[in-house]
Amino acid sequence: MKILLTGCDGQVGWEISRKAPDYNFDVIATDIHNLDITDIEAIRTLQAKKQVDIIINSAAYTAVDKAESDKDLAYSVNALGAKNLAIVAAENNLPILHISTDYVFSGNTTIPYADDSTPDPQGVYGESKLAGELQVAETNARHLTLRTSWVFGIEGQNFVKTMLRLGAENNEISVVADQFGSPTFAGHIATALLKLTKQYHESGDLPWGNYNFCDAGITTWHMFANKIMAIGVEKGILDQSPIVQPIRTEEYPTAASRPPYSVMDCSRFAETFPHIGISSWESGLREMIQTLADQGI
Ligand SMILES: NC(=O)c1ccc[n+]([C@@H]2O[C@H](COP(=O)([O-])OP(=O)(O)OC[C@H]3O[C@@H](n4cnc5c(N)ncnc54)[C@H](OP(=O)(O)O)[C@@H]3O)[C@@H](O)[C@H]2O)c1
């Protein structure tokens, strides 16, 4: 089974690359330096040469705030790039596995979003990702898109690494306490995508469509930060935990607005793919911080 993987240097892509050999998959690992997904002819050329069996797109423009002033590039990568991959997949009768985000929803709710809840993105990043989701679905019937949230991973920059750095440098920090969501470990997303690939490999089919896929557990950035500090101390990365003061969203202004409640109901994924299931974000956090501790970070 040969996989064309895009965005291999990103949080999720890196995890897919490192876990794929466990499944005996051959991965053609690419990132922007050797495959720019906005260039459809480059994708066609690579497919003609490599003859892969499935495409997994983990490439994206993920700078949520920067996207507000960089709309063309955000759309180019998240909408056109995703569509290009879906087109080349369809031309070659291949399926595509894609990733989307909670930012397709407004977050102005108090109940978890279902897979078929109406999207209502509030910023450029969410709009561009929604456009990508729709174009992948329109272009290739054999698509499976996982919508995920608050991704953290061993490789790349993310909230967990920022908190560990701030925790080492400060006795007190302030973190937003009125936004709710589900942190999701990049390693869990990678495992799900690889198990979906395995299922496709064994059966030649998948129940295609869009699925919410997040780690289990609802928290706030403030509670997440407290847990990061506690595990950081437990694993010896931090000498002690700083005081984590709760603040309101208004006290931490950002260029793009954040969904106040971006919790997604992932029960359809769990029921459709019981052999994959949903893990807790806390188990992913422990795995990540243990790995950082082992690396001496
Ligand atoms: N991060 C989150 O909190 C989060 C939350 C929900 C959903 N998601 C979704 O999850 C997926 C994976 O996210 P992630 O956190 O792993 O993202 P990431 O760490 O930002 O990785 C994305 C990778 O794509 C690369 N890339 C950018 N433009 C490209 C292009 N034109 N052609 C090829 N590669 C390109 C990036 O390279 P450069 O670094 O050089 O730009 C980067 O290596 C994305 O679809 C994202 O929208 C992420």
Distance 283 CA to ligand 1 centre (A): 23
Percentage of residues in the chain having pLDDT higher than 70? 100
Distance 58 CA to ligand 1 centre (A): 6
Distance 282 CA to ligand 1 centre (A): 23
pLDDT at 296 over 90: no
Distance 69 CA to ligand 1 centre (A): 18
* Phi, psi (rounded to 5 degrees) for 16: -65, -45
The predicted-structure confidence for 27-79, as pLDDT tens digits, reads as follows: 999 999 999 999 999 999 999 999 999 999 999 999 999 999 999 999 999 99
How far apart CA 42 and CA 60 sit, in angstroms, is 17
Q: Helices 221-234 and 281-294 meet at what angle, rounded to 10? A: 40
Reported residue count of the chain is: 297
Predicted structure pTM score: 0.98
Q: Whose CA is nearest to atom 41 of ligand 1?
A: 61
Distance 243 CA to ligand 1 centre (A): 32
How far apart CA 225 and CA 266 sit, in angstroms, is 23
pLDDT at 239 over 80: yes
Q: Rg of the chain over CA atoms, in angstroms?
A: 19
Q: Where are the beta strands (DSSP E) in the chain?
A: 2-6, 26-29, 54-57, 96-101, 143-148, 151-152, 172-176, 180-181, 184-185, 209-212, 219-220, 243-247
Percentage of residues in the chain having pLDDT higher than 90? 99
**Cβ atoms within 10 A of the Cβ of 167, count?**
22
Q: Whose CA is nearest to atom 39 of ligand 1?
A: 10
How far apart CA 122 and CA 21 sit, in angstroms, is 39
Evaluate: CB of 213 within 6 angstroms of ligand 1. no
Q: Whose CA is nearest to atom 32 of ligand 1?
A: 36
Evaluate: CB of 57 within 6 angstroms of ligand 1. no
Evaluate: CB of 61 within 6 angstroms of ligand 1. yes
* Phi, psi (rounded to 5 degrees) for 4: -90, 115
Catalytic hit among 125, 200, 211, 261: 125
**Which of 32, 56, 76 to probe ligand 1 with, by most ligand atoms within 8 A of CB?**
32
The residues with which 143 forms a beta bridge, in sequence order, are 96
Average pLDDT over residues 199-218: 98
**Which of 65, 88, 102, 151 to probe ligand 1 with, by most ligand atoms within 8 A of CB?**
151
Please, which pLDDT band fits residue 124 given cuts at 50, 70 and 90?
Answer: very high
Average pLDDT over residues 237-256: 96
* Residue 39 burial (10 A CB sphere; 0-12, 13-18, 19+): middle
Evaluate: CB of 149 within 6 angstroms of ligand 1. yes
The tokens for 82 are: 């995703």
Report helix, strand or coil for 204. Answer: coil
pLDDT at 297 over 80: no
Based on the residue annotation, tell me whether 252 is a catalytic residue of this protein: no
